[in-house]
């Protein structure tokens, strides 16, 4: 996780220790007076997508690419309560056609993760979070837009079991996401087989569920994962038309994640692939991150 100047100054006062970077979808926690900051680069691309259920290419797009850099500090309030913040900078491009990519700061996010129950190696964790748009990007210019310009709020229940001797763990979570209406720079739009004479667009709410099987030992972690994310309602991309924020976007993804962090500095990596979807691109994604953890003295 990426450090700022203040963290660099404070780092000289801190002692080294075995560090554990953690995310809103795992059961790893920072201890009290610990902060981990990550700088993560992401790359995702696709040249085929699902137009409704039709899987197709589009030679006016070629290969669509999304890249991002995200700062994510994680703050240990107690050993059972963590706060996670994130701020991404995103840019898009295509290999063909005349669609201009967008770039800029996307949405600021904050998560609160609480270990509610711990019995042996089994834990029940509650996670709540939300995001607000910060950039001035155009949300309706899909697939080139870097976001949807709507506020979000998500609740997640996360169950985890870790075998103490081997470090083998199994994690499962389910989430519900609320999304606010958004405004577009036009007086009317077409969706759900009708015309709406307004610039306010109702964006579908979402859900997701995932399972992760991996091993976590001192200084390293690796896992395989599968995830399903979808809108609760919405329409489909019309034939030979552009996507729109009202679309019912669904994706089933699989992938691998690993982290090596023997002391306060570490790296992590992630690979994902969309195996099935609706109104989304069949993307392959990569992430590489630099982690830096700080242990404040009492």
Q: Which residue stretches of the chain are H helix? A: 5-11
Q: Is the pLDDT of residue 86 over 80?
A: yes
Burial class (CB in 10 A: 0-12, 13-18, 19+), 120: exposed
User: What span, in angstroms and rounded, lies between the C-alpha atoms of 146 and 290?
Assistant: 23
Q: What is the dihedral of CA 163, 169, 174, 179, to 10 degrees?
A: 130
Q: pLDDT at residue 128 above 70? A: yes
What pLDDT score was predicted for residue 233?
96
Pairing assessment for the beta strands 168-179 and 206-217 based on DSSP bridges: antiparallel
Whose CA is closest to 242, among 205, 190, 168, 206?
Answer: 190
Q: What angle do CA 44, 50, 54 make, to 5 degrees?
A: 155
**Residues 6, 239: Cα–Cα separation, whole Å:** 52
pLDDT value for 8: 29
pLDDT at 36 over 50: yes
Residue 217 neighbours by CB under 8 Å, 6+ apart: 167
Query: Which of the four pLDDT bands, split at 50, 70 and 90, describes residue 187?
Result: very high
Provide the pLDDT confidence category of residue 237 given band limits of 50, 70 and 90.
Answer: very high
Q: Which residue has the higher pLDDT, 111 or 6?
A: 111
Residue 134 to residue 88: CA distance in whole angstroms: 10
Is 218 a residue whose pLDDT tops 50? yes
Pairing of strands 54-56, 49-51: antiparallel
CA distance 107 to 92: 15
The pLDDT value recorded for residue 1 is 37
Percent of the chain with pLDDT over 70: 92
Predicted confidence at residue 17, as pLDDT, reads: 30
Cα torsion angle, 19, 22, 28, 30, sign: positive
**Rg of the chain on CA atoms, in Å:** 20
pLDDT at 177 over 60: yes
Whole-number pLDDT of residue 297? 77
- DSSP letter assigned to residue 8: H
CB under 8 Å to 123, separation ≥6 — which residues? 27, 115, 117, 159, 160, 161
Average of per-residue pLDDT across 8-20: 30
Residue 235 has pLDDT above 90, yes or no: yes
Under the banding of pLDDT at 50, 70 and 90, the label for residue 22 is low
Angle at CA 59, nearest 5°, toward 100 and 246? Answer: 65
Over residues 49-77, mean pLDDT: 97
4 versus 107: the higher-pLDDT residue is 107
Q: For position 289, what pLDDT does the model report?
A: 97
CA distance linking residue 45 with residue 27, whole number of Å: 29
Question: Which domains does the chain carry?
Answer: 2-295 (2.40.160.40)
Residue 184, pLDDT score: 95
* Residue from 130, 34, 20 nearest 81 by CA: 34
Query: What value does the mean pLDDT of the chain take?
Result: 91
Question: Span 178-182, mean pLDDT?
Answer: 97
The per-residue pLDDT for range 239-293, each reduced to its tens digit, is 999 999 999 999 999 999 999 999 899 999 999 999 999 999 999 999 999 999 9
């Amino acid at each position: 996780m990426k450090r700022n100047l203040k963290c660099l100054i404070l780092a000289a006062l801190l002692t080294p220790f075995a560090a554990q970077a953690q995310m809103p979808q795992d059961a790893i926690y920072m201890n009290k007076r610990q902060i981990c900051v990550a700088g993560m680069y992401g790359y995702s691309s696709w040249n085929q997508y699902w137009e409704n259920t039709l899987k197709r290419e589009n030679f006016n797009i070629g290969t669509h690419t999304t890249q991002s850099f995200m700062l994510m500090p994680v703050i240990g309030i107690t050993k059972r309560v963590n706060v996670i913040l994130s701020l991404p900078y995103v840019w898009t491009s295509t290999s063909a056609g005349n669609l201009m990519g967008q770039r800029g700061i996307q949405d600021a996010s904050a998560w609160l993760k609480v270990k509610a129950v711990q019995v042996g190696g089994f834990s029940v964790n509650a996670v709540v979070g939300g995001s607000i748009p910060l950039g001035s990007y155009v949300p309706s210019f899909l697939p080139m837009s870097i976001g949807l310009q709507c506020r979000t709020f998500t609740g997640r229940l996360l169950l985890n079991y870790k075998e103490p001797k081997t470090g083998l763990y199994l994690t499962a979570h389910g989430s519900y996401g609320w999304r606010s209406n958004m405004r577009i720079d036009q007086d009317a739009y077409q969706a759900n087989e009708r015309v709406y004479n307004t610039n306010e667009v109702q964006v579908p709410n979402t859900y997701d569920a995932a399972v992760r099987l991996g091993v976590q030992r001192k200084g390293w972690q690796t896992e395989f994962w599968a995830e399903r994310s979808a809108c609760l309602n919405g329409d489909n991309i019309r034939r030979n038309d552009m996507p729109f924020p009202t679309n019912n976007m669904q994706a089933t993804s699989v992938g691998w994640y690993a982290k090596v962090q023997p002391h306060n500095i570490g790296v992590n990596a992630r690979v994902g692939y969309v195996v099935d979807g609706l109104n989304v691109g069949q993307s392959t994604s990569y992430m590489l991150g630099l982690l830096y953890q700080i242990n404040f003295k009492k």
